[in-house]
Amino acid sequence: MATDKTRTISPLIKTIGDFMTLLKVVMALVFVGYCLSGLTLIRPDEIGLILRMGKLHGSTPVDQILNPGWVLALPKPFDEVLRIPVKQIQQVKIKELAAIEKKEEADYRTIDPLNEGYCVSGDANIFQASILVKYQISDPIKAVFGFSASYQTFSSLVHDLTVAEMTRVAAGFPIDGLLSESKKELSTQVKERVQKQLDRVQTGLALVSLEIEEIAPPTYLRKDFEEVNSAFINRHNFINDARSLSEEKLPKARGNAEEMINRARSYHQTVVAEATANAGRFNQLLTAWQNNPEEVRLEMTAKVQKLVIEKMRRMVVVPGGSAAAAGVRLMFDTSTGSSLPVPTNVNPAYDELAEEEEED
């Protein structure tokens, strides 16, 4: 009877034992899974921070910041692993200051300040702008603990600060500059002021860029502004063309003027030198003439005759007086300096010249 009872209870006990064994295995697996729940993967564009009981784990920044890879931390609620996307560049598109799209029947001659944003320039003109801001987290510790709000609200903060600084800085520029060459300077100043505000509240953010994609007047004034801007650009083009022409012509004119001045100076020096030399020779000749006038007269006569003969290509000398009856005339070829005897009958004109000499 006892043996039958034992056989009846044994399967139940065995089942209970198996269940308890299975429960222990499950509990062990759950415990292991709970212990491994602190294992976290940090992506390549992120860094990790461990909050242990709400406090940043690590004594130095090197120990506090975890590089990409697997990180083993204590399971919750003991540890919390924060993944901060420090290498991701976030973008904030600001359209609150740009023109809104209106229906065809809408009035384009006015701006509703409650629904449509705008800025006012330094000369009290209205314009609208579209802005793109890019930022990233430069100091993850400040991003988590320095700023009172959550670091996940940074986009809203950057958006609001950019709108505020844009309206403030734009008031220092005239509208003509904003629509042309001052656009880059405006974006630079707005970026610097927004960065200063972010640093002041210790957000740990760094602005990568602040680009003003478009600056335009209100829709109903756009055509007028385009004409003014076109005239402004044409004015600058004319000025640049004039400067270019001036830079091209002036050096050449200065070079020509300098060359003419140098030639004039050279001519002046040459003439003065020749005049001085002639005056010196004349003074010498005058002194010599005062001492012996007859000798100077003969010398000057000979020089003049020599000069006349040298300048003539060919000369025929016909003797006069008693020498006219001579049967020989002298013909000088100044190119060779030789004299040739020429018979009288070669040219009867020589005899006629001789007879005229005799009559005289």
Domain that holds residue 331: 312-359
Domain boundary among 198, 217, 236: 217
Q: List Cβ neighbours of 185 (8 Å cut-off, separation of 6 or more).
A: 173
In a domain, 7, yes or no: no
183 lies in the same domain as 100: yes
End-to-end CA distance of the chain: 203
127 lies in the same domain as 152: yes
- Quick check: bond before 341 cis, omega within 30? no
Distance, CA of 96 to CA of 218 (rounded, Å):
14
288 lies in the same domain as 320: no
202 φ/ψ angles, rounded to the nearest 5 degrees: 55, 60
Question: What confidence tens digit (pLDDT) does each residue in 202-240 have?
Answer: 888 999 999 998 888 887 777 777 787 788 788 888 999
Distance, CA of 197 to CA of 190 (rounded, Å):
11
Do the Cβ atoms of 306 and 337 come closer than 8 Å?
A: no
200 lies in the same domain as 243: no
230 lies in the same domain as 324: no
In a domain, 1, yes or no: no
Question: What confidence tens digit (pLDDT) does each residue in 147-181 have?
Answer: 666 666 888 999 999 999 999 999 999 987 887 78
Res. 79: pLDDT tops 80: no
189 lies in the same domain as 271: no
185 lies in the same domain as 230: no
213 lies in the same domain as 104: yes
325 lies in the same domain as 213: no
51 lies in the same domain as 65: yes
The CATH number given to whatever domain includes residue 207 is 3.30.479.30
42 lies in the same domain as 155: no
Domain boundary among 84, 111, 131: 84
Distance, CA of 182 to CA of 205 (rounded, Å):
27
pTM above 0.75, yes or no: no
Question: What confidence tens digit (pLDDT) does each residue in 91-118 have?
Answer: 999 988 887 776 554 455 667 676 788 8
| Domain tally, the chain | 4
Distance, CA of 59 to CA of 72 (rounded, Å):
18
169 lies in the same domain as 122: yes
